Structures are given as C-alpha cells and as structure tokens.
C-alpha cells in the first residue's frame, strides 16, 4: 500500500501504463513538497516546490489539479512511511524499545505538520478521507507494538492504541520545535504504560 505511485485519483483499472517520466516527476514532486511543507508549512509558494522538484508549474498541476490533492498525497505518503517503519523496528529491537522508538518516529511525523490540522478542517472534500486513513494505518501498527510489549510483560495490556496515539500527538503539538521536551514526555508516557506490567 505504501509502495507504488499515488495516482492522481488513485485507481484506473484500464491497463493504461504510466509513462516513466510521469512517474518520476510525481515522485519528485511528492518528495519536494514534503520537504517544503516541513520547512515552510502547507501554504508555501508553489514555485518553491516545482523548483526543488526540477519541474514546471504545468507538470505539478497535471498531477495534482488542486493544491489540496498534493497536500493529501504528501500526507498519505508520510503516513505510510511512518506506519511502515514499525515492522523494521520490531524486528531489530526488543518490544519495549521498538514501541519507544516508533512513538518517537511518530512524534517526528506530527511535528512536521505545521498548518495541516488547519487545512484538514477547511472542509475541502479532498481531505475527507484523511483522518480515517490516519487511524486505519496507525492503529493496527501501534496495536501490534503494544501487544508485543504486553506479551513480553513490559507494559500493561489495557491501553487503547487510539488513545495513546492521540495523547502522543497532543503531547507533541505545543513543542514541535523542541525534540528534547517531546522525547521526555513520550518517555514519561511509556513509563506510565510500564506501571503495573507483570514483569
């Protein structure tokens, strides 16, 4: 799900192959937009994005007719990247460490979302499915991490993944520019989880 290019409308059954240059440019735009959004927020000038992607304005508008399409695509892309990081962490570290590291990773994701929450509430239909997507991708991932840690006796077993997700996101918002603070708070949260574990 996280692989393959995000097509404009994300679904064209007729086997029309996507041209290689089109694919390349879509990717370049997504990457460039992600960087620019992180640095300057989602209201950053379009030309800044096209310049960084080495692409003309026309190209951007062909792939993403509305600005909101680009934003939504970038968001999906980053949700995927963050969610997909979990299995690797779970394989490399013991359950508690994997959980901790993934939550840190998640705070990084949230921290780059300047102005996105505002855009999300703008009523633009392009964003309609985004919160659901967010939940749909992250909740199972976090549930797995939590279950593994609980099974290892590292944390309590009665924590709802969605609650923890929201709590972490809220913890991060006021201090998106202070890594240290966020880490301390997330660590505290995890210490809270450990309280009452059987180990």
Partner DNA sequence: TTGCTAAACGGAACACTGTTCCGTATTGTC
Partner DNA sequence: GACAATACGGAACAGTGTTCCGTTTAGCAA
Binding site for DNA (CB under 7 A): 16-22, 24-25, 43-47, 54-59, 61-63, 65-67
Output 22 or 157, the one with its CB closest to DNA.
22
Residue whose tokens read 């708070």: 185
**Among residues 64 and 106, whose Cβ is nearest to DNA?**
64
Contacts of residue 146, Cβ cutoff 8 Å, sequence gap at least 6: 99, 155, 159, 161, 164, 193
**Among candidates 83, 93, 105, 85, which has minimal Cα distance to 172?**
105
Instruction: Rank residues 51 and 85 by Cβ distance to DNA and give the closer one.
Output: 51
C-alpha 61 chain-centroid distance: 23
**Smallest distance, DNA to C-beta of residue 105, A:** 29
For residue 99, which of 1, 196, 187, 195 has the smallest C-alpha distance?
Answer: 187
Q: Which of 48, 43, 9 is nearest to 32 (CA)?
A: 48
> For residue 164, what are the CA distances in angstroms to 64, 108, 161, 168, 189?
34, 16, 5, 6, 9
CB-based contacts of 133, cutoff 8 Å, min separation 6: 76, 79
Q: Which is nearer to DNA, 5 or 197 (CB)?
A: 5
Min dist CB 111 to DNA, Å, is 22
- Please identify, using beta-carbon distances, which residue of 55 and 186 lies nearer to DNA: 55
- Of residues 32 and 82, the one with the C-beta less far from DNA: 32
SS3 120: helix
């Amino acid at each position: 799900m996280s692989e393959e290019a995000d097509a404009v409308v994300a679904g064209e059954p007729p086997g029309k192959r996507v041209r290689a240059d089109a694919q390349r440019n879509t990717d370049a735009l997504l990457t460039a937009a992600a960087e620019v959004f992180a640095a300057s927020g989602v209201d950053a000038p379009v030309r800044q994005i096209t310049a960084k992607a080495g692409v003309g304005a026309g190209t951007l508008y062909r792939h993403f007719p509305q600005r909101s399409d680009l934003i939504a695509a970038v968001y999906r892309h980053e949700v995927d990247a963050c969610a997909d990081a979990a299995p690797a962490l779970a394989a490399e570290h013991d359950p508690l460490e994997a959980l901790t590291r993934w939550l840190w990773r998640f705070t990084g994701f949230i921290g780059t979302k300047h102005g996105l929450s505002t855009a999300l509430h703008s009523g633009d239909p392009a964003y309609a499915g985004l919160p659901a997507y967010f939940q749909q991708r992250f909740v199972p991932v976090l549930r797995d991490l939590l279950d593994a840690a609980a099974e290892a006796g590292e944390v309590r077993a009665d924590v709802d993944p969605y609650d923890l997700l929201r709590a972490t996101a809220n913890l991060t918002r006021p201090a998106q520019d202070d890594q240290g603070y966020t880490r301390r708070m997330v660590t505290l949260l995890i210490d809270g989880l450990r309280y009452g574990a059987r180990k």
